[in-house]
Structure 1
Amino acid sequence: MASKKQKTDPNYKVIAENRRARFDYAIEDDLECGILLSGSEVKSLREKSANIAESYAAVENGELWLVNSYIAPYERAMFPHTERRRRKLLVSRKELANLWNATQRKGMTLVPLVMYFNHKGLAKLKIGIARGKKIHDKRATEAKRDWGRQKQRLLRHGD
């Protein structure tokens, strides 16, 4: 029901989505976290000029960081930002401990899934706690998706 509310809410806007993440990783859990941004970065995000496809999150020195995400420069900015700088992610200490435990002990990966503005207009990032898929897992996912498409086509046309 929460996802339905997000779609009808006028302030909820998806900025960037990592569509490949669900294909490359088996996502076991996800977590919403805040992002520490400068003013020109927020202005640029309002214009939907960001990319999180090649980025990842990492726990380093007791802090959570978003590495290699791209936010396009804002032309009218008085103090411009660096496009691919490391951005601090904001989570509680308990969640940070759980993320550290998942990455260091269980061998999981923190993958950014969606960057969006929530209902209050704040920039948020949904990260997935994921395990990398092997080639045969990817093939199975692709076969399942193809079968779903074929099934829909058959139901539509009745062939």
Structure 2
Amino acid sequence: MTPTLITTASDVVTAAMGIAKDAAEGRLGPTDLEAELQVELRNLLGVVVGPDDPAWPVQLDVARAVIAAGGIPTDELSEWVAVQRRRERPDEVDPAQTPPEPVSAPSGSHSPEADAAEAITETPAEPEVVAGLTLVPDPKPAPVAAPPVQADGGSYDPLRGWQPGGTRRR
């Protein structure tokens, strides 16, 4: 809806008659008016430029009213507080928010000799704990099956009869 400048009484009457006609024909209803109001308010107040904007005091009042009505969840509000504090003091760093310095673990080889050296350096268990333990012999190991002997004397070729590029589809 483009606003036009109304200068005479007949222009006012014509505009009012246009609105009355739209309302009578169902083209103008409360939902249409609310949608138009939202668009206009968003155009006027939705773009926040900063303190130099003439709408700034109204935007501050709206923001305070939204916060007072509980319109912003506390999680989001605390995030915005953290952002504002960071803007006010950009050089200060909160130690609670700073991750610890990374510590590099010493590297070593993963060979059986290194594992044996680690096992030796481990502290033995307390004597009274060791005294309370009893050794249980390992169960008899399961026999390992020998690989099957092939009937053709070991000359098995899994690719025998396979033709590269051949297809089984007909």
Alignment TM-score > 0.5, same fold: no
TM-score normalised to structure 1 length: 0.17
Which has a greater percent of strand?
1
Which has a greater percent of helix?
2
